[in-house]
Structure 1
Amino acid sequence: MKVRVAILENDSNYLQRVVSIFNNKFGNELEIYSFTDISSAYRCLDDKKIDVFLANENIDIDFSMIPKKCGFAYLVESSDIEKYNDKKAVCKFQRAELIYKQILSIYSEQIPNITGIGESNNSMKTIVFSSPVGGTGTSTLAAACAISIANKGFRVLYLNLENFGDSDSFFSCDGQFDFGDVIYAIKSNKSNRKIKLQSTVKQDSTGVYFYSSVRVALDMLELKVDDYLTLQTELKMLGEYDYVVIDMDFPRNRKGFAFFENCNSIVIASDGSQVSEIKTARAMDAIQILDSYSEYIIQPKFSMIRNKVLGNTENRDEIRVIGEIPMYESCSPSQMARQLSLSSVFDQLL
């Protein structure tokens, strides 16, 4: 199924270029109708059942002529403009991929119950990085793991669900969307979640897909365990990824641990210090008790990576240690993640 898009633009040269690019790059996803005459555009909206209508900011639009189920945005010249005349704005001078994602985002908000976007990927594997110990480099290991998987040719999504995490410390890409758009789609249920997940994701130069961090960290506190489960299910239904690497805070209640039941592997980071090892041991003891009272068993899914190791360490009985990584200094977070991605320790998680 294609998204039907009408573009009303005074500049015929721009119109010709953008239509040509969209037809070449997104011919299987978009059906483009272009106009320089406003009356012809209005007729097309009903005749062709247009899903998204884009119009130049200098054109006076009669919004009574736009069908209720048709999304609308102005085409503007600056990427800094998010709204124009209280309507959504799309910068006309940006990469076609970014305009395409904004079109999908507008479409998702108008069509809340559409299905058939992607196919369910029951083979998608979920790897969680979470630790009861702070400051051991859990986020860096998660980012490194994602890069390592991408280097092997798999499609991988890095998903930071920490309350105060920052995906943009490790990955970068142009685009105005962030994870806040995903949170809104999940909590409001007013837009098609699968299309929103597809339209707001970004891809780093390493090949890793990711969502930019929310602008206000407090937005992350809106997510509950049930929302995590919904998000994981939607990602499977999207059918885009072989692996999803989740970086999240260590659970504080039984329901939080229940999320781990739906994950393939859970990795704890420890720096090998006495405090770190004690906290990890206490966490594993708690998980063993929870397993004895629960219908699900999660302890066998746990493994440990010792990070920032300065000396020799001992193996532990309560958790499998899959590798050790030495201390690196004088690196930015993104440089560190790329360096660590070369380690073979992540191969054991595939």
Structure 2
Amino acid sequence: MRIQLVILDTDHEYLRRLSAHLAELYPGRIDVHAYSDLEGAIAGIAAVRAHAVLVGAAFDVSPSDLPARCAFGRLTDSPTVASIDGVPAVARYTKTSEFFRQVIDLVSSASGSVEIRKRTSGKAPRLIVTTSAAGGSGTTSLAAALARSLAMQPTPVNVLYLDLDPTSDAGATLETAGADGPTMSDVIYAIKRRRGDIDSQLMSVMRRDAYGVHHFAATRDPADILDLTADDRAILLERLTSNSSIDVVILDIPFTAVVAQWSVLEHAHRVLLVARADGQGSLRTERARRILERLDATHESSVVPRTSLLRTRLDPRGPAPADVSSLPTLLTLPDLGDAEGQVVDQIYASGALHPVVSMVLA
């Protein structure tokens, strides 16, 4: 999904800085084509098949001058101005994230079926589900480290880390907490509203950490996540796993939620079941496997063959307990501590997730 934005304005320095900021914050998601002359802009709109056009006050342009389904907006110096002569207004001097959100809203309101350019591979994103039959297994740290490992491949992978645990904070896990801007609450609103171009709305809410991992900031109110019904979650995952700008979606979700919505696992490329490498962890994993087998039989699906076990927090001073689960163990990680952010850093730096990365990309 790559938006083609044409901006026509007389302020060359503003156009240069805005283009640079958008390219830095939203690589691969928006192309800015800046013009300071009307003739060049009109030619550019046709050449790039613009999705949206923003015009400064010095130029006399109307929506009728543009191709059908091309969104049109006016640049304004005031963030309180919503429209100018009936044309939507976009604030010129605002945070880059807010400017981007306004562009997304403009494109979305123009048409619910605006055709966004897709990447040339045409492949649908792969859904990787990470879950655990018991808390404290390190599922969130592993999922975040896997997302980072994918994003930092020699050929970068566009990866989205999606945390649907009501008590988790993706921003804290990825060390982007505290930043202003849209949150998962806006995602929930867009999904429940079901209006306009949902893909573009979701894209406008995504953030990117220092390693290139896309994610949604935690909801403003932790209870907001409870507003997502089973249908809402299905629509959210369907939209994300058909988004042409994403290669892999890493879904971090509690096991009870997975069981309650089996379609999530049915559409997963791989399921990673995380368990502590001790006797209790093995017993819980075996019970989880039996539940998955029963549900596979009920739904006539094949989730268990696509499920692998990741074992964590093995005490290096003692022998490994017997693994009573028949699920294939993809890797076992040693105890790396309790501070979540540091654990993510250590797992990523260790390179231990290479087998998982290879499996995801195979």
TM bucket (normalised to shorter chain) is 0.7 to 0.9
The corresponding residue for 1:128 is 129
Q: Distance in 2 between matches of 1:253 and 1:137?
A: 17
The corresponding residue for 2:138 is 137
Is the alpha carbon distance of 1:216 and 1:62 closer, same or farther for their aligned partners in structure 2, counting shifts above 3 Å? closer
Tell me if 1:53 matches 2:56: no
Is the alpha carbon distance of 1:249 and 1:53 closer, same or farther for their aligned partners in structure 2, counting shifts above 3 Å? farther
Q: Distance in 2 between matches of 1:208 and 1:65?
A: 40
1:144-184 per-residue CA deviation (whole Å, 9 max, x = no partner) reads 11111112122211111112221011224555111221111
Aligned residue for 2:256, secondary structure, equals coil
Q: What's the CA shift for 1:194?
A: 0.9
Q: For 2:287, which of 282, 288, 300 is the aligned residue?
A: 282
Is the alpha carbon distance of 1:256 and 1:309 closer, same or farther for their aligned partners in structure 2, counting shifts above 3 Å? same
Q: Distance in 2 between matches of 1:101 and 1:125?
A: 26
Q: What's the CA shift for 1:253?
A: 7.5
Tell me if 1:187 matches 2:199: no
Is the alpha carbon distance of 1:93 and 1:259 closer, same or farther for their aligned partners in structure 2, counting shifts above 3 Å? closer
Q: What's the CA shift for 1:3?
A: 4.7
The corresponding residue for 2:341 is 334
The corresponding residue for 1:33 is 55
What are the equivalent positions in structure 2 for 1:207-218 lying under 5 Å apart?
A: 207-218=212-223
Tell me if 1:164 matches 2:167: yes
Q: What's the CA shift for 1:62?
A: 9.3
**In 2, are the aligned partners of 1:5 and 1:53 still within 8 Å (CA)?**
no
**In 1, are the aligned partners of 2:55 and 2:74 still within 8 Å (CA)?**
no
Aligned residue for 2:312, secondary structure, equals strand
How many residues are aligned here? Answer: 317
Aligned residue for 1:219, secondary structure, equals helix
**In 1, are the aligned partners of 2:162 and 2:250 still within 8 Å (CA)?**
yes
Aligned residue for 1:51, secondary structure, equals strand
What are the equivalent positions in structure 2 for 1:174-253 lying under 5 Å apart?
A: 175-252=180-257
**In 2, are the aligned partners of 1:119 and 1:237 still within 8 Å (CA)?**
no
The corresponding residue for 2:311 is 306
Q: Distance in 2 between matches of 1:267 and 1:252?
A: 15
What are the equivalent positions in structure 2 for 1:57-96 lying under 5 Å apart?
A: 57=78, 65-67=85-87, 70=88, 72-75=89-92, 92=93, 94-95=95-96
**In 2, are the aligned partners of 1:159 and 1:210 still within 8 Å (CA)?**
yes
The corresponding residue for 2:110 is 111
The corresponding residue for 2:357 is 347
What TM-score do the two structures reach when normalised by structure 1? Answer: 0.79
1:100-143 per-residue CA deviation (whole Å, 9 max, x = no partner) reads 52233322552351231243843421111111201111101100
Q: What's the CA shift for 1:51?
A: 2.6
Q: Distance in 2 between matches of 1:21 and 1:257?
A: 47
**In 1, are the aligned partners of 2:292 and 2:304 still within 8 Å (CA)?**
yes
Aligned residue for 1:130, secondary structure, equals strand
What TM-score do the two structures reach when normalised by structure 2? Answer: 0.77
Aligned residue for 2:246, secondary structure, equals coil
Q: What's the CA shift for 1:31?
A: 3.4
Counterpart code for 1:157: L
When structure 1 is superposed on structure 2, of 119-128 and 162-171 the one drifting more is: 119-128
The answer for unaligned runs of 5 or more in structure 2 is: 24-31, 34-47
Counterpart code for 1:166: D
Q: How well do the aligned residues superpose, as a CA RMSD in angstroms?
A: 3.0
Counterpart code for 2:194: N
Q: For 1:19, which of 15, 20, 34 is the aligned residue?
A: 15
**In 1, are the aligned partners of 2:98 and 2:181 still within 8 Å (CA)?**
no
Q: What's the CA shift for 1:216?
A: 0.9
Q: Distance in 1 between matches of 2:71 and 2:336?
A: 54
Q: Distance in 2 between matches of 1:140 and 1:253?
A: 19
Q: What's the CA shift for 1:94?
A: 3.8
**In 1, are the aligned partners of 2:54 and 2:73 still within 8 Å (CA)?**
no
The answer for unaligned runs of 5 or more in structure 1 is: 76-91
Aligned residue for 1:35, secondary structure, equals coil
Q: Distance in 2 between matches of 1:110 and 1:267?
A: 39
The corresponding residue for 1:78 is none
Is the alpha carbon distance of 1:302 and 1:33 closer, same or farther for their aligned partners in structure 2, counting shifts above 3 Å? same
Q: Distance in 2 between matches of 1:101 and 1:165?
A: 26
The corresponding residue for 2:327 is 319
Q: What's the CA shift for 1:271?
A: 1.1
Q: Distance in 1 between matches of 2:157 and 2:83?
A: 45
When structure 1 is superposed on structure 2, of 130-139 and 339-348 the one drifting more is: 339-348
The corresponding residue for 1:82 is none
Percent identical residues: 19
